[in-house]
Amino acid sequence: MIRTKPDRVGSTCHLQGIEVREWNEWRECVFVYLANDLPTLWQKGGNSQNHTDRINMAASSSNLARFREIGKKILAIGRNYKSHAAELNNPIPQKPLVFIKPTTSYIIEGQRIRFPPDCSELHHEVELGVVIGKGGNNISEEDAMEHVGGYVLALDMTARDLQSFAKKNGHPWALAKSWDTSCPVSNFIEKDKIPNPGNLNLWLKVNGEMKQNGNTTDMIFPIPFLISFLSKYFTLEEGDVLLTGTPSGVGPVNEGDEIQAGLSDIMSIKFSVAENK
């Protein structure tokens, strides 16, 4: 627990990697977090509970910045934009179409996207990812956003030929969606940087040419519904990521291509496609 009153004015306590220096009975305080490279926090005024809350929030944000390490699963939604369903001649789903990608599919900038074995048609799909900050199951839509810890810009790379074969034969999509390097992601985006995730521009370029340019207003199933729906089947845990679907404009990439993608003016990423060996 965090001590809320100093033993004496000017005392210092150390707990859970946090150094709290206190002066003047909390009228002026400095908090220095000693782990996870969290920036120094400076706060004047307020009460001890406010300071405690700020420390807890900062520590939680620091953990979520490591979502690729602490998260256990990536839950992804297919056909969540009407225009995307239409461009692939697929019907509009009546409930979310869910698949799972392993966390081993993550890559970050500086790493390259690879073709999976037996794939000759690799497609790009840009998506808004939701990072779970508070775990739970059977979450109501009304409470769903309380479980959001932040966001991430992601690519759901898809082996379209493998997916088409799987769909035709009634097989799962795992090989077409879940190989290593199939989920390039940005750095963590703090929740307060996106006050309205239901109205964000998503864009993607291949070799400088715009290919996808959509908005999250076009989602069939909004984020609170998706969180509630998924939590009835899966326990959501801190660091898990929910990929919310892609707008229209998906298409092929080739070896050596450069993919750039962005989320409004908040975040952008760049990845290259490795040689198809």
pLDDT digits (tens, 9 = 90+) for 161-205: 999 999 999 999 999 999 999 999 999 999 999 999 999 999 999
Least reliable range by pLDDT among 46-50, 93-97, 194-198, 265-269:
46-50
pLDDT band at 79, cuts 50/70/90?
very high
* pTM of the predicted protein model: 0.80
Give the pLDDT band of residue 216 (cuts 50, 70, 90). Answer: very high
* Residue 52 pLDDT: 52
Average pLDDT over every residue of 10-14: 42
Summarised one tens digit per residue, pLDDT across range 38-50 is: 444 444 444 555 5
The alpha-carbon radius of gyration of the chain (Å, integer) is 21
In the prediction, which pLDDT does 150 show? 98
Whether the CB-CB separation of 55 and 2 falls below 8 Å is answered with yes
Q: Where are the domains of the chain?
A: 12-64, 68-272
Q: Environment class of residue 125 by beta-carbon count within 10 Å: exposed (0-12), middle (13-18) or buried (19+)?
A: buried
What is the chain's mean pLDDT, rounded?
85
Give first-to-last CA distance, the chain, whole Å.
54
CA 201 remoteness from chain centre: 16
Q: Which CATH number fits domain 68-272: 3.10.310.10, 3.20.20.140, 3.90.850.10, 3.40.50.410?
A: 3.90.850.10
Instruction: Show contacts of 138-142: CB within 8 Å, 24+ apart.
Output: 138/231, 138/232, 139/227, 139/228, 139/231, 139/236, 140/228, 141/224, 141/225, 141/227, 141/228, 142/224
Query: For residue 178, what are the CA distances in angstroms to 32, 86, 173, 248, 277?
Result: 40, 23, 8, 21, 18
* pLDDT bracket for residue 148 (50, 70, 90): very high
Cβ count within 10 A of residue 5 = 10
Q: In the predicted model, is pLDDT for residue 86 greater than 90?
A: no
